[in-house]
Amino acid sequence: MTKVIVSPSILSADFANLERDIKLVESNGADWIHVDVMDGHFVPNITIGIPVVKSIRKVTLLPLDVHLMIENPQKYIEDFAKAGADILTIHFEAVKKEDLRSVIEHIRSLGVKAGLSIKPKTNPQEILEFLPMLDLVLVMTVEPGFGGQKFMPDCAEKIKIIKSNSESELIIQVDGGINDETAKICIENGATSLVAGNYIYKADDVKNAIESLKL
């Protein structure tokens, strides 16, 4: 069975203690660190940006999985790559379709893994043509913008469509409302990477919470 990659979202961490909270998940089995970048335009919320990525790069050895919920991500991918992102995931809805190929190529030319995300209302058929050039597809299982929302089961169906149209190396990630139960649904459908914020950071036992996602 493919090993599941768990990527705790630091959106649910204490921003005044980011180093502590990153080390907490690093020492308890996290595989990646998920960084939610929001610009107040593509999504209604504003979170963190390039300087924070640069700072957290220094305190962890884990890959930084940067989820760009921003308009015109092409303007910033070079800066995020320089700041230390290992994976840069842009949103399909944030870039003109005719520009998407060159943006993905640009990310890969910087030596960074390229991810493409779809919001709950986006049809997965729209992105099938891009799958061969991607390292990761992120299927959002909530409307992006906030942590702590309820998992949308309909979105999990999309994983199957992505999986049946891709090579086995493509990482299929889910994000939003992931806990031990919803993780199982996603893994059964073919997800290989799970983002979880509240489920991990609000847990009494972080190690158990991370382990329970991999079962």
Q: Are 9 and 197 in contact (CB under 8 A)?
A: yes
Contacts of 191 (CB under 8 A, 6+ apart): 4, 139, 156, 159, 172, 173, 174, 183
Is residue 11 involved in binding ligand DX5 (CB under 6 A)? yes
CA 60/CA 121 separation, integer angstroms: 35
Q: Which of 36, 39, 65, 135 is catalytic?
A: 36
Strand order in the sheet with 87-91: 5-8, 193-196, 171-175, 136-140, 113-118, 87-91, 64-69, 33-38
Q: Interface with ligand DX5 by CB under 6 A: which range of 25-33, 86-94, 119-127, 195-203?
A: 195-203
Residue closer to Zn ion, measured from CB, 132 or 148? 148
| Annotated catalytic residue within 31, 39, 65, 175 | 175
> Which residue among 36, 39, 65, 135 contacts ligand DX5 (CB under 6 A)?
36
Q: Does 165 bind ligand DX5 (CB under 6 A)?
A: no
Is the Cβ of residue 117 or residue 189 nearer to ligand DX5 in the bound state? 117
Rounded distance, CA 25 to CA 28, Å?
A: 5
Question: Is residue 144 at the binding interface for ligand DX5, with CB under 6 A as the rule?
Answer: yes
Q: Kindly state the number of chain residues that form the binding site for ligand DX5, as judged by CB under 6 A.
A: 22
Nearest to ligand DX5 of 67, 158 (CB atom): 67
Which residue number, 144 or 190, has a Cβ lying nearer to ligand DX5? 144
| DSSP 8-class letter at 212 | H
Is 99 marked active-site?
Answer: no
Active site includes 180? no
Q: How far apart are CA 135 and CA 113, in angstroms?
A: 6
Nearest position to Zn ion, beta carbon: 67
Alpha helices in the chain (DSSP H): 18-26, 50-57, 77-83, 97-109, 153-164, 180-189, 198-201, 206-214
DSSP labels for 89-129? EEEGGGS-HHHHHHHHHHHHHTT-EEEEEE-TTS-GGGGGG
- Cβ nearer to Zn ion, comparing 36 with 39: 36
Selected range binding ligand DX5 among 100-108, 124-132, 146-154, 203-211, rule: CB under 6 A: 146-154
Residue 6 in the binding site for ligand DX5 (CB under 6 A) = no
Residues serving a catalytic function are: 36, 175
Residues in contact with Zn ion by CB under 5 A are 36, 67, 175
Binding site for ligand DX5 (CB under 6 A): 9, 11-12, 34, 36, 67, 142, 144-149, 175-178, 195-199
